[in-house]
Structures are given as C-alpha cells and as structure tokens.
Amino acid sequence: MLAGTKDAPLIGPLLMEEREGVLAVRFSAMASPCELLLHTIDRASALELGAIAAGEAWRIEKKYSRYRQDSVTAMMNGRTGSVLRVDEETASLLDFAAQCFELSEGLFDITSGVLRRAWKFDGSDRVPDAAAVECLLSLVGFDKLHRDGTFLMIPDGMEVDFGGIGKEYAVDRVYDLLVARCPVPFLVNFGGDLRASRPLPHGPWKVAIERPDSDQSAAMMLDVEYGALATSGDSHRFLLKNGIRYGHVLHPRTGWPVQGSPRSITVAASSCTEAGLLSTMAMLKGTQAQRFLEEQQVRFWLL
C-alpha cells in the first residue's frame, strides 16, 4: 500500500542500529517503518546504502502517492478527460497494472479507488447506500482507460491509484539498486513487504510479520533466506454493522467488501511485486483464497 500524510516532509532521518552483527538503517516512507538490514558492514557504507534505499523509496512515494498534490498520480487524476503523456516508468506501471487486471479477470483494478468515495473504513457502522455504490461502479474498470504507449486518457470521474503495487514495487526497485552495490547479505523491509538477497552466514533472516489481531505483540516470526514476502490484510480498517464485519478489500465488480477472505495473507515469491500481487489477488478471491494460493504452488501463511 502506498500512503503518506498530506504534505508530509519527504526527507526524513536515517537511524542506524546494530544488533548481533546486523546493521539496520531505518527510515520512514509511504506511511510505514522501513528498514535496510545489512550483515557486517562498516557504518559509512551502511549509511550510504541506506541513503540510496531511502532516496528511492521517497522518490517513488513523491511520484506516486495520491495524497501528494504534486505527484504524477495527482496530475493524472487531475486531468481526466484529456490525453496525457506519461513518463516511461509510469507507462511500465500501467502496463503491469493492465496485465494484472487481465490475469485476475478484473479483480485487481487500480481504478477501484473511486469506491472509497462511498466506503469510509473508520470502524463505524456507516455502511453505504447500495445505490451510491452501484453508481460508482460505472467509474471503475481498468479497461475503460485509453492507453497507447506513453499516452493515456482517463475518462472523467475515474481515477487511478498505484497504492496497490507501489510499496512492493519500491522494495524491488531498492533491491535492484542495492544488489549491484552491496557486497554483503541484505534485506529490504518496507512495513512488512520485504526482499532478501541471500541468507546470513549463520542462518536465515528472522522477520516479524504483524498479525491482524488486536494483540500487536503477537507478531508472526518467519524465516527468509532468499526472495520476497508480501502481506495483505484488513487488520485495522473495517466497518461493523448488525454483526457483519465489512473488511476494506472491495470487490471491483460488485463494489462491496469481499466476504470470507482470510484476515491476513502472507505470500513468499521471488520478487516482492509478485508476492504482493498474489496476496492481493488471493484476498480478493474471498473464500477461494486458500485454494487459489495452493494452485499457484507458492508458500503462504493465512490468518
């Protein structure tokens, strides 16, 4: 997820901490605690690599956060109805979103954010009016965008949001930037979406994945050697009415929360983008989540 408070300063501090031969460079980006873990490296190099990681994370946040008025996302959403020329990176992300839309048969849709106009997941019982949701559905559908290479036209009233892939994409981008520069094993972790280069000499990386329970201390510990983990969940954002819990994962075809999804899905895959998409798609499959993941033959953890 790509978030960030409005007008938040994009350049923050880098904090360094050393524990058992692992240096952690921590910073905050995309409304998440982020860290780069490095095995046995001098502090100056760690800080340099940390700055590359943070710089890329902040760049992607600044460029794609829909909360920032100067972002590319805001620019695209602010100019609906006219033909835009987008840069190559944005075009690649749109291509990727198109493929995900297609292979999820419309379940993964970066235009579904307009449904938030009706749904406010604030823990209350304010479930929206069915007619209002129905009305917004006409503004959802990636196939309604007109695209040709770097040209894009978003029909009036629609909007795009890279929030569903931004953080995972940032993890992979940082991984790619560091893999050529970093001589020691490292792990990039942006708020639980992570990717490791190779295991530590004495064993796998131990990472804590937040559980969706109210008891925050009970984090799930996972071992990671190579590859990526991504987690989707509806832990904190929901509505509760007449005993029905409405999770924040909205089905882009019905406009209503997907029922029967696990509370949290963590998937292991070779890249964070891939893991993130698999966990998001599984979440959208509702009761079919587990079966979908089994078919993909990936490691996963459901809660």
Partner 1 sequence: MQLEADTAGVRRKLIAASCALLTAATARGEETSVPQKLGRLLENWQIQSAVAYYREDGRVQAIEPVVSAARETADGGKIDFNFTFDSLSGSSPNGASPSRAAQTFASPSAKSFDTARHTYTVGPGRLPVDPNYSDARAAGGANWTFNLSRLTQATVGGKFSYEDDFYSATVNASIDHSFNDKNSTISLGVSSENDFLQPIGGAPVPLSDYALFEKGGHKSKRGEGLLLGLTQVMTRSWLAQANVSLDRFSGYLNDPYKIVSVIDGAGTPVLYVYENRPDSRTRRSAYLENRVAWHRSSAALSLRYMTDTWGVRSDTAQVRLRWWNAARDQYVEPTVRWYRQSAADFYRPWIVNNEAQGPYLSADSRLAAFHALTYGVKYGVKLNDRLGWFAREGTEFNLRLEYYQQTIQDGPAGPGGLSGLDLYPRLKAVLFQFGFNY
Taking the complex as a whole, how short is the minimal distance between the CB of residue 59 and partner 1, in angstroms? 9
Positive or negative torsion for Cα 84, 89, 95, 97:
negative
| Single-letter amino acid code for the residue at 303 | L
Q: What share of the chain is helix, strand, coil (3-state, %, to 5)?
A: 35, 25, 40
Query: Is 216 among the residues that bind partner 1 (CB under 8 A)?
Result: no
Coil, strand or helix at 296: helix
Tell me which residue has tokens 């938030």.
116
Among the residue ranges 25-33, 110-118, 217-225, 274-282, the one whose residues contact partner 1 (CB under 8 A): 274-282
Query: Cα separation of 189 and 154, whole Å?
Result: 33
Within residues 38-77, the interface with partner 1 by CB under 8 A covers: 63, 69-70, 72, 74-75
For partner 1, the closer CB: 136 or 268: 268
Question: 239 or 275: whose CB is closer to partner 1?
Answer: 275
Write down the least CB distance from residue 96 to partner 1, Å.
4
Shorter beta-carbon distance to partner 1: residue 92 or 254: 92
d(CA 271, CA 165): 12
DSSP state letter for 154: P
Is residue 128 within 8 Å of 119, Cβ to Cβ?
Answer: yes
| Cβ neighbours for 278, distance < 8 A, ≥ 6 positions apart | 230, 267, 269, 293, 296, 298, 300
**Shortest distance, CB of residue 230 to partner 1, whole angstroms?**
11
Q: Closest approach of Cβ 26 to partner 1, in Å?
A: 23
Residues in 125-184 that interact with partner 1 by CB under 8 A: 150, 169, 172-173, 176
Applying CB under 8 A, what is the total number of residues that bind partner 1? 40
Residue closer to partner 1 (CB basis): 34 or 86: 86
The amino acid occupying position 280 is: T
Contacts (CB under 8 A) with partner 1, residues 70-129: 70, 72, 74-75, 78, 84-90, 92-93, 95-96, 99-100, 103-104
Least distance CB 1 / partner 1 (angstroms): 17
In this complex, which beta carbon is closest to partner 1, that of residue 78 or of residue 204? 78
Q: Of residues 22, 140, 277, 289, which one binds partner 1 by CB under 8 A?
A: 277
- Contact present, 197 and 240 (Cβ < 8 Å): no
The alpha carbon torsion through 145, 92, 265, 287 (nearest 10 deg) reads 30
Cβ pair 221, 206 in contact under 8 A:
yes
Whether 264 and 211 have beta carbons less than 8 Å apart is answered as yes
Binding site for partner 1 (CB under 8 A): 63, 69-70, 72, 74-75, 78, 84-90, 92-93, 95-96, 99-100, 103-104, 150, 169, 172-173, 176, 269-271, 273-274, 277-278, 281, 292, 295-298
